Amino acid sequence: MASTAVHRPTAHPTAVRSPATGTRLARATWVLILMLAFAVLPAAVHPTAARADNPIVQNVYTADPAPLVYNGRVYLYTGHDEDGSNSSFVMKDWRVWSSADMVNWTDHGSPLSLATFSWASTDAWAGQAVERGGKFYWYVPVTARATGRMAIGVAVSDSPTGPFRDALGHPLIENSEIDPTVFIDDDGQAYLYWGNPNLWYVKLNADMTSYAGSPVQIPLTTEGFGTRTDNPDRPTLYEEAPWVYKRNGLYYMVYAARCCAEFIAYSTAPSPTGPWTYRGTVMPAQGNSFTNHPGIVDFQGNSYFFYHNGALPGGGGFTRSVAVEKFSYNADGTIPTINMTTTGAPQVGALDPYVRQEAETIAWGSGIETEWTSDGGMDVGWIDDGDYIKVKGVAFGAGASSYTARVASATSGGTVELRLGSPSGTVVGRCTVPNTGGWQTWTTVTCPVSGATGTQDLYLRFTGGSGYLFNMNWWQFTRAA
Ligand code: FUB
């Protein structure tokens, strides 16, 4: 499948590049995404099926999810598999998305890359961001240039979406092992766990960028981490990717188990330092990727399990995609077995079309890409005839009278068709986008809307001539009087 993923042949002449990476975003072909959507995501085109589309992101490959709930949103920190990688991990930066409803995800671009760490060379692998005292600390494994060994760096920001800067100018820890996860206990003590092939923890100081004492190796016993029978060097199931949290006084460590393909397992303990007891499978090995990576959060009263697989066109073990499932703990606190789905989690609430919405807030994007814009934040670009954006569960209520969008075009522009329920659903409005004089020369267009009532899946379907049509930064409906 790897050969089906393609790079854009050319960039917009004035496309604004990521300040973190200087690179353009890659994408899978819209044709193949459309095929996938219709072949394996029947719910995605059903007007009343207000469920998420897995994987969460369609325009780049994402991996190693690390969700964080902050101020009423879920922030999703991920790695980024470069397009076309088929024999090794090619990972140069990390990405951030956020959502208030678990189905429409806003792209915040890449506020952290290998270039952030002057001492790092390659391997932007699995990390986690946590908040403490209004600052955001993102712990990531990378290869240290000086030694060629895997090390853990920490970046800090005043915002969950960055920009992040290297907090130390050198590794926080360097012992050739990977996959940091951070847990802050109720008493304020923070713990950093990491490791493959071993499993370690260390107590972080309150500054979150230094630690007390020496790293402690967690005993990998079969009681604690299950029995592996096919690898004498690794007698327990623990492989990598720990994710530690506390619930009802019980400490959970969820991790990638066995190799390969990995499944997701978990252990529990009465304290953050153990002793750990193996509890079984969370997610079986599934989904066309030999790795998997857990991330668990509670949001608005429900529990969510994030993971990755190779579900997109061109996807596989080195071109992965992050997905999410809602789950409920069993009454005794055990985690049920969770299977990968293409529908994902149900929507929490609905999206308000009468406030400004970023164009890069997307449940499912077909053919589009995103980029940084001089107009502020990010825009959706590289729009061809027939591309579309699906925004799920849009609460029009009694009705909308008009639609406004912030757009730019260096060509002859095109049309934004506002459709309900599917890419070929009822048209409730059409907005013409003119040539504005450049891909970053922005104007606001408004068109009348009729028939948009109730709560609907909204499709922004783009039509026009050949080549790229226009960019969109944001949109907003006006309520009918
Ligand atoms: O993404 C690179 C590595 O693959 C991660 O660090 C591991 O957890 C595995 O997902």
User: Per-residue pLDDT for the chain (481 aa), expressed as one digit of tens each?
Assistant: 222 232 233 344 333 333 333 333 333 333 333 333 323 332 332 333 334 489 999 999 999 999 999 999 999 999 999 999 889 999 999 999 999 999 999 999 999 999 999 999 999 999 999 999 999 999 999 999 999 999 999 999 999 999 999 999 999 999 999 999 999 999 999 999 999 999 999 999 999 999 999 999 999 999 999 999 999 999 999 999 999 999 999 999 999 999 999 999 999 999 999 999 999 999 999 999 999 999 999 999 999 999 999 999 999 999 999 999 999 999 999 999 999 999 999 999 999 999 999 999 999 999 999 999 999 899 999 999 999 999 999 999 999 999 999 999 999 999 999 999 999 999 999 999 999 999 999 999 999 999 999 999 999 999 999 999 999 999 999 999 8
Ligand 1 site-directed mutation target among 94, 293, 319, 322, most atoms within 8 Å of CB: 293
pLDDT of amino acid 85:
87
Q: Rounded to an integer, what distance in angstroms lies between the CA atom of residue 73 and that of residue 82? A: 27
CA of 93 to the centre of ligand 1 (A): 13
Residue nearest to atom 3 of ligand 1 (CA): 125
> What is the rounded distance in angstroms from the CA atom of residue 372 to the CA atom of residue 473?
10
Residue 105 contacts by C-beta under 8 Å, 6 or more apart in sequence?
Answer: 56, 57, 76, 97, 98, 99, 361, 362, 363
- pLDDT confidence of residue 41: 32
Is 89 touching ligand 1 by the criterion CB < 6 Å? Answer: yes
Protein residue with its CA nearest to atom 9 in ligand 1: 291
Our answer on whether the CB atom of 257 is closer than 6 Å to any ligand 1 atom is: no
Buried b (16+ CB within 10 A) or exposed e, 331-349: eeeebeebebbbbbbebbe
3-state secondary structure 253-281: EEEEECCCCCEEEEEEECCCCCCCEEEEE
**Ligand 1 contact via 389 beta carbon (within 6 Å):** no
- The DSSP result for 41-108, as a single string, is -GGGG-TT--BPPSSS-SSS--EEEEEEEETTEEEEEEEEEPTT--SS--EEEEEEEEESSSSSEEE-
Q: How far apart are CA 104 and CA 392, in angstroms?
A: 6
Q: List, in order, residues 6 or more apart from 133 with CB less than 8 Å away.
A: none
**Known active-site residue 239:** yes
Q: How far is the CA of 249 from the centre of ligand 1 (A)?
A: 29
282 contacts 334 by C-beta, under 8 angstroms: no
Q: Is 63 in the pocket of ligand 1 (CB under 6 A)?
A: yes
SS3 230: coil
Atom of ligand 1 nearest to the CA of 320: 1
Q: Are 227 and 238 in contact (CB under 8 A)?
A: no
- The per-residue pLDDT for range 49-97, each reduced to its tens digit, is 334 489 999 999 999 999 999 999 999 999 999 999 889 999 999 999 9
Looking at ligand 1, which residue's alpha carbon is closest to its atom 2? Answer: 125
| Cβ of 150 below 6 Å from ligand 1 | no
Ligand 1 center–CA 126 separation, angstroms = 5
Ligand 1 binding pocket includes 82 (Cβ within 6 Å) = no
What distance in Å separates the CA atoms of residue 443 and residue 371, rounded to the nearest whole number? 17
- Does 344 contact ligand 1 (Cβ within 6 A)? no
Ligand 1 atom closest to 63 (CA): 1
Q: Catalytic: which of 64, 371, 379, 457?
A: 64
Which residue has the least CA distance to atom 1 on ligand 1?
A: 125
Q: What pLDDT, on a 0 to 100 scale, did the predictor assign at position 42?
A: 29
Expressed in angstroms and rounded, the spacing between residue 356 Cα and the centre of ligand 1 is 36
Ligand 1 pocket residue status of 179, Cβ below 6 Å: yes
Cα–Cα distances (Å) from 196 to 26, 73, 192, 405, in that order, read: 30, 31, 14, 48
Ligand 1 in reach of 93 Cβ (< 6 A): no
Percentages helix, strand, coil for the chain (3-state, rounded to 5) are 5, 45, 50
Identify which of 61, 62, 64, 176 to mutate to test ligand 1's pocket (most ligand atoms within 8 A of the CB): 64
Residue type, 112: L
User: 228 CB under 6 A from ligand 1?
Assistant: no
Alpha-carbon gap, residue 292 to 64, rounded angstroms? 7
pLDDT at 143: 98
Confidence (pLDDT) at 376: 85
Element of type H or E holding 40: helix 30-40
Phi, psi of 145 (to 5 degrees): -60, -40
> Backbone phi, then psi, for 340, in 5-degree steps?
-70, 140
pLDDT digits (tens, 9 = 90+) for 243-283: 999 999 999 999 999 999 999 999 999 999 999 999 999 99
Q: Can the peptide bond before residue 49 be classed as cis, meaning omega within 30 degrees of 0?
A: no
pLDDT confidence of residue 7: 29
Atom of ligand 1 lying closest to residue 123 CA = 2
Selecting among 53, 107, 166, 239, the annotated active-site residue is: 239
Q: Ligand 1 pocket, 124 CB below 6 A?
A: no
Atom of ligand 1 nearest to the CA of 79: 1
Atom of ligand 1 nearest to the CA of 81: 1
* C-alpha 138 – ligand 1 centre gap (Å): 16
